[in-house]
Amino acid sequence: MLLITNARAGTSDAETIDRAEAILREAGPVTRVACSEPEDLDRALAGHDDGTVVAAGGDGSIHTLVQALHRHGELEDRVVGLLPLGTGNDLARNMGIPLEAAAAARLVAGEGRPRALDLFVDDAGGVVVNAAHVGIGAEAAEAATRFKPLFKTAAFPLGSLLAGLRHTGWRLRVEADGDLVTDGRVLMVALGNSSGIAGGNADLAPGASPSDGRLDLVVSAATGPLARVGYALHLRSGRHLRRDDVVRTIAKEVSVSGEPFRVNTDGEVSEPVTSRTWTVVPRAWRLLIP
């Protein structure tokens, strides 16, 4: 198998990966490649045709790997493994992958099974493996970034608090499968492939399935001061869906347009755009899970 690591990983992460790699080698040969740029990953994939590719990292790492496999047209040919080393590890949490690297390595080495998962592909060529957020979700992720080294998963609710104090909404048009969902001021537009986000601190789309060929769309119009606080509190437990200012629907394609907004895709925040469309590709890739 091919093991992809972050060339910028610290000493403790490197030692953790060493121990996990030793477990992986019990199942067969392992080629370990450290990557610091997307081009490094492209070269690694081009130079190694291993059937299993393992990402050692967080949601950003698994996103980058799946993005590269999609770009190379290799999603059907390879199976993906994950050693969770990030802060949020949302995909791992949602899929039941152990957050302890050695246990995750044993899963990859033979205890797990491949599950076919849906993929969201956007009109700029990007992909979503777990969730994408427009509006307050993107601003909260950006605000949380500087707190992650110190506060870990607690950085996410802190980032949400700061973002909620600074932003009162965006004027956006949201369509699902061509039908209008809303056209006005909204706090958040979120697309979920599974339920949890923010390091387990929010239950975005309770009951969402990552392999049903559909995306779960949640739109919040909680733009007033008290409404923003209420929405944030309810989001932690999944009770936000009971609010009158929240809409949830299921779709195969979602379009968002309007004033400039940033997108948080699997934890990575984009530069501002004025429109984006996502389409579901059913069961597009395979992930090793318990």
Residue 217, strand partner residues? 191, 249
pLDDT of amino acid 185: 93
163: helix, strand or coil:
helix
For 52-101, write each residue's pLDDT tens digit. 999 999 898 999 999 999 999 999 999 999 999 887 788 999 899 999 99
**Runs of H (alpha helix) within the chain:** 11-25, 38-47, 59-72, 90-95, 101-106, 136-144, 148-151, 155-166, 225-235
List of the chain residues with pLDDT < 70: 8-12, 137, 139-167, 196-203, 228, 235-238
pLDDT of amino acid 200: 57
Residue 219 and residue 188: Cα distance in Å, rounded?
Answer: 6
pLDDT of amino acid 213: 96
pLDDT of amino acid 277: 98
Residue 12, strand partner residues? none
pLDDT of amino acid 154: 45
State the CB neighbour count (10 A cutoff) for residue 147. 17
Q: Whole-model pTM?
A: 0.85
Residue 256 and residue 137: Cα distance in Å, rounded?
Answer: 14
Residue 91 and residue 120: Cα distance in Å, rounded?
Answer: 14
168: helix, strand or coil:
coil
pLDDT of amino acid 114: 96
Q: Are 228 and 222 in contact (CB under 8 A)?
A: yes
pLDDT of amino acid 19: 94
What's the Cα-to-Cα distance from 263 to each of 49, 134, 171, 260, 266, rounded to whole Å? 32, 5, 15, 10, 10
pLDDT of amino acid 269: 86
